[in-house]
Amino acid sequence: MVGAGRPLSLGAKGAATTLPHLIRSDQLAAVRRSVLLSIPVNVVLGITSALVAWNSGQTKAGLIWFAASCVPNSFRMMLCRLAETTNPAVVDRRLKLHSAAALSSGLVWAFIPTLCAGYTSPQTLFYLIVVCGITAGAVTHGFAYARIPIGFITPPLLSAAGCLFYAGGFDRICLGATVVLYLAALIRACREGEGLMRETSRLKNEATSLATSLEGAHVAATEIAEEMTRRASRDALTGLLNRSGFLEEAERRAAIAQSPMSLLLLDLDGFKAVNDTYGHKAGDNVLIEVARRLQLSLPSSFAVARLGGDEFAVLFEMGLVDVNPTLLAHELIAAIAIPFAAFDAGRIGVSIGVHVSTAPAIDEMLISADAALYAAKLAGRNRCYVFDAELAHHLAMRRDIERDLGKALAEGGLEVWYQPVMIDGGARFGGFEALARWRHPRHGWISPPDLIASASLAGFGEQLLRFILSDVCVTILAMREIGLADARVAMNVSPREMSQIAVDELVLKGLKARGVPPAMLEIEITEETALDIQAVRGKLAALSEAGVSVAIDDFGVGYSSLGALRRLRVDRVKIDRIFVEGVSRSAENRSLVLAILSLAGPLGFEVVAEGIEHQDDLETMRDLGCKAFQGYLIARPMPRNEALRWARTHARALPGRPAPRR
């Protein structure tokens, strides 16, 4: 190995150039590149800060500050434009000038508090984010020569911490302390970064000068490759394993497992609403915080990953730790449920699917845990569900359905049944809900939700939608013939079809081709669909303008906002059965129902109570002011002809009297 002071090459004038001089030259070249990259960002953030100052009435101060920031920036750019040199004295002098210029720029940024009343004005959050962002960027780009980023970041961060300490208050003092810790961490990162850069430069220069250093260069290259591989397996936002990294790690653990493996799949509740309301930056902060809470709550031996979006995974071998998966799931639910500082309490939750396997096959575990997660979601937010025999049967059934559904659609094996909706307090027939049914040769009657979900996953969603629409059109025309033209028929559209298919064009063309009045059709979507306003608003608006009604099904289990109800022109809201069943005995459910009913008038929609199965629930809903009902107590789903006879019988029931049970 070459000594630190041993000459490696000759300079332009014949003077020996030592290894430290070559490293210094590499540092200067890296500094020039990093400054050329960072100055434009500095200028853009400076302009933005000045604009915010102008908007907040600090125009003069903002302009003075921005003008001051341009001086060191211009000098730094000028330094970067100087001709390259390997002269040791010149290199050292330029590095010192770059350091002084960076310190000057940092001192200008230290005066940011003058634009926001010492970080106490409403613009404080913006300026803090800008300062933290630009200092982090300086460290990221300034790894080659630590004095430069340290000189730049120290004044503004100390200024911010000092202002926060001076302002007082527990929150500001804690934030000021955090800024100091942040500064210390950045300084350490700068020094370590410079050390790594110098080491890389040393290896490079020795490798180009001495054949004996080839082996060392190969080792360095191998280390870099390993680091790149590690980064490829990590989620850039949270630092957790990403999907590919998790699958690789899971396969490795499964191959050597001596005891059952437990997999937890986590999906955040309410995350999309946060993204829509506060923006994607806030959503990213939520994901980072969730990852942090997971790491704090779990042993380091667990494999923790962000699989994508707002979905996380936890994997561990049960024989190695004394942890009950169900209890662990509840602990994680409690950890995530702790209010986030920037949002309303209770806005973010998590649903968890749990699967334990004695013969771990990762693909099967993921499928099973996903089924359990779906069951947890159906049960409401902040729930966990353990994969069991019932879910295993349901999963096998779903696979059979997906396999056989195409043939059934082609051969006319599906039917559409109709369940009545009673209005005017249950006294008069108000319409039907169309429910697709299929008698599977092995599993018997398949429920409408399972059928729609399976069709969507198997790629038959549009074909099933066309089939239901065709049958519904026949039913509507039959209703007109028997004098029921004032009633509607509702058909369900799944979230996937609503977002991926031109539902408005399909429906309106189908109605026109068959001569069916749009006013007699109702499209039912779930709250999940309603949340994705950008994807569905235009389609629902086209349907609504044509006269088709819009209803939100299973209302109350999701996170619809009042704005979404208004913007989507909702005509009908169907309260989910979990709030209707037992409402006569649940004060909490009665309060929720009253809240929904109180919105009906101002927002102009009708409220339907789903799942009416008991007389006392019907009477309670009536007493609360609900006037439309659907459920087995009213009538079960029926084939078309039977449903039409039922409707004609109950079209003019006595006022105030509920329809009899079938």
HSE-up of residue 364 (Cα within 13 Å, Cβ side): 10
- The values of phi and psi at residue 116, to 5°, are -135, 35
Q: How many helices (H) and strands (E) does the chain have?
A: 24, 16
3-state secondary structure of 607: strand
- The amino acid at 104: S
Q: What residues are annotated to the active site?
A: 310
- The amino acid at 42: N
Token pair recorded at residue 526 = 């779930």
Q: For residue 383, is pLDDT > 70?
A: yes
> Taking all residues of the chain, what is their mean pLDDT, rounded to a whole number?
83
**How far is 513 from 193, CA to CA, in rounded Å?**
70
Token pair recorded at residue 414 = 């599906």
> Count of CB atoms within 10 A of residue 216's CB?
15
HSE-up of residue 534 (Cα within 13 Å, Cβ side): 5
Q: Which of the pair, 490 or 231, is modelled with greater confidence?
A: 490
- Tell which phi-psi region holds residue 587, choosing left (phi > 0), alpha (psi between -120 and 50) or beta: alpha
Q: For residue 9, is pLDDT > 90?
A: no
Query: Among 196-210, 256-270, 547-561, 642-656, which stretch is predicted with the lowest mean pLDDT?
Result: 547-561
Average pLDDT over residues 408-421: 89
- The amino acid at 278: Y
- Residue 10 banded pLDDT, cuts 50, 70, 90: very low
End-to-end Cα, the chain, rounded Å:
93
* DSSP character at residue 1: -
HSE-up of residue 73 (Cα within 13 Å, Cβ side): 20
Q: For residue 11, is pLDDT > 60?
A: no
- Residue 246 banded pLDDT, cuts 50, 70, 90: very high
Closest CA to 571 of 589, 547, 592: 547
Closest CA to 368 of 351, 383, 386: 386
Spell out the SS3 assignment of 461-494. HHHHHHHHHHHHHHHHHHHHHCCCCCCEEEEECC
* DSSP character at residue 83: P
Q: For residue 660, is pLDDT > 70?
A: no
pLDDT value, residue 563: 54
Q: For the chain, what percent of residues have pLDDT higher than 90? A: 29
Closest CA to 661 of 616, 628, 631: 631
- The values of phi and psi at residue 611, to 5°, are 70, 30
- The amino acid at 50: A
Q: For residue 225, is pLDDT > 80?
A: no
Token pair recorded at residue 273 = 């609403």
pLDDT value, residue 229: 65
Q: Is the dihedral of CA 177, 184, 241, 238 positive or negative?
A: positive
Query: Among 351-360, 397-406, 580-589, which stretch is predicted with the lowest mean pLDDT?
Result: 397-406
Contact 579, 552 (CB under 8 A): no
Q: For residue 16, is pLDDT > 50?
A: no
* DSSP character at residue 308: E
Average pLDDT over residues 528-540: 67
Among the ranges 77-86, 176-185, 290-299, 499-508, which has the highest mean pLDDT value? 290-299
Q: For residue 632, is pLDDT > 90?
A: yes
pLDDT value, residue 344: 58
Average pLDDT over residues 205-232: 66
Q: Which of the pair, 593 or 568, is modelled with greater confidence?
A: 593
Token pair recorded at residue 114 = 């003058």
- Residue 631 banded pLDDT, cuts 50, 70, 90: very high
17-55 as b/e: b if 16+ CB within 10 A: bbbebbbbbbbbebbbebbeebbeebbebbeebbebbbe
Contact 595, 587 (CB under 8 A): no
Q: For residue 601, is pLDDT > 70?
A: yes
Query: Among 26-30, 74-78, 234-238, which stretch is predicted with the lowest mean pLDDT?
Result: 26-30
pLDDT value, residue 658: 44
Average pLDDT over residues 449-453: 79
Sequence-separated (6 or more) residues with CB below 8 Å from residue 428:
422, 650, 651, 652, 653
**How far is 144 from 29, CA to CA, in rounded Å?**
9
Q: For residue 635, is pLDDT > 80?
A: yes
Q: pLDDT of 282-307, one tens digit each? A: 889 999 999 999 999 999 999 999 99
Alpha-carbon distance values, 644 to 382, 438, 469 (Å):
42, 20, 17
pLDDT value, residue 2: 40
Element (H, E) at 579: helix 577-580
**How far is 137 from 152, CA to CA, in rounded Å?**
11
**How far is 269 from 275, CA to CA, in rounded Å?**
12
Q: For residue 568, is pLDDT > 80?
A: no
Q: For residue 131, is pLDDT > 60?
A: yes
pLDDT value, residue 566: 63
Query: Among 147-156, 554-563, 647-656, which stretch is predicted with the lowest mean pLDDT?
Result: 554-563
> Count of CB atoms within 10 A of residue 204's CB?
16
Alpha-carbon distance values, 282 to 242, 271, 340, 474 (Å):
20, 10, 11, 49
Q: For residue 424, is pLDDT > 80?
A: yes
- Residue 394 banded pLDDT, cuts 50, 70, 90: confident
3-state secondary structure of 350: strand
